[in-house]
Amino acid sequence: MSSIKLKGSVSGEAIITAASDASAIILDKNLDLNGQELVLDADADTSIHSNTDDQIDFKTGGTDRMVIDSSGRITTPSQPAFSVVPTSDQDNCTGNGTNATVAFGTEIFDKNNDFASNTFTAPVTGSYFLTASVSVHDHTVSNTTGRMNIVTSNRSYLYEFDPAENISGAGVGSFSISVLADMDAGDTSTVTMQMYDSTLTVDIQTSGTFFQGYLMG
């Protein structure tokens, strides 16, 4: 059975540790341990450190998972989050009711490597904020019905619109949708666009098209 010890062998420190020294709480008012004031250390890879720059680091696997700086700002370097855009236009991909999956070939960032092949895959079960905007051109007043979806494994979120009401002088329109989606670990999400009532002439353009998301909790 492991025991708890209070040690004071190092000047200015109070150390509570298991007999095996596998776990430790170190309080160092003299900052003798490499500038660390507080260390909660289960092993070399899992720890909480408060440093001389008034920053607190929470680590697992030897990697920062949450950092609180001296101004109280909190960052979570490993929290799932992504932002992607198309690499090129998708020409003549809808207009006659064809359901086109929007192609996102360029990652602005993908903090947890969860996005690939136009698809976000949830690494853990949780609530995810997802938002997308799609810009199209070559649609006309003949296209009187449009449907944009953020599609997840659990359900599809629909935004239905009249394309003819959103056409600029250059024949371009932009459509957006944002959702808070329940996703299980391994669930996927994509963006689709459909336009009806004409021919297969509507393009999805790179400018103004994006897909973004992050884990809320």
- In this structure, what CATH number is given to the domain that contains residue 183? 2.60.120.40
Residue 94 and residue 11 share a domain: no
* Domains contained in the chain, number: 2
Quote the pLDDT of residue 98. Answer: 97
Domain boundary at 44, 75, 106, which?
75
Give me the percent of the chain exceeding a pLDDT of 70: 76
Domain shared by 166 and 113, yes or no? yes
CB-based contact 152:188 (threshold 8 Å): yes
Same domain? For 62 and 91 the reply is no
CA neighbor of 174 nearest in space, from 118, 131, 132, 119: 132
The per-residue pLDDT for range 158-186, each reduced to its tens digit, is 999 998 888 877 778 999 999 999 999 99
Domain check: are 121 and 41 in the same one? no
Cα–Cα distance for residue pair 30/13, rounded to 1 Å: 8
| The pLDDT value given to residue 110 | 97
Q: Which tokens belong to 27?
A: 């309080």
Q: What is the pLDDT of residues 81-94, one digit of tens each?
A: 999 999 999 999 99
Residue 213 forms beta bridges with which residues? 82, 130
For the chain, the average pLDDT equals: 82
Q: Are residues 51 and 128 in the same domain?
A: no
Claim to verify: residue 160 and residue 182 sit in the same structural domain:
yes
pLDDT band at 39 (very low <50, low <70, confident <90, very high): low
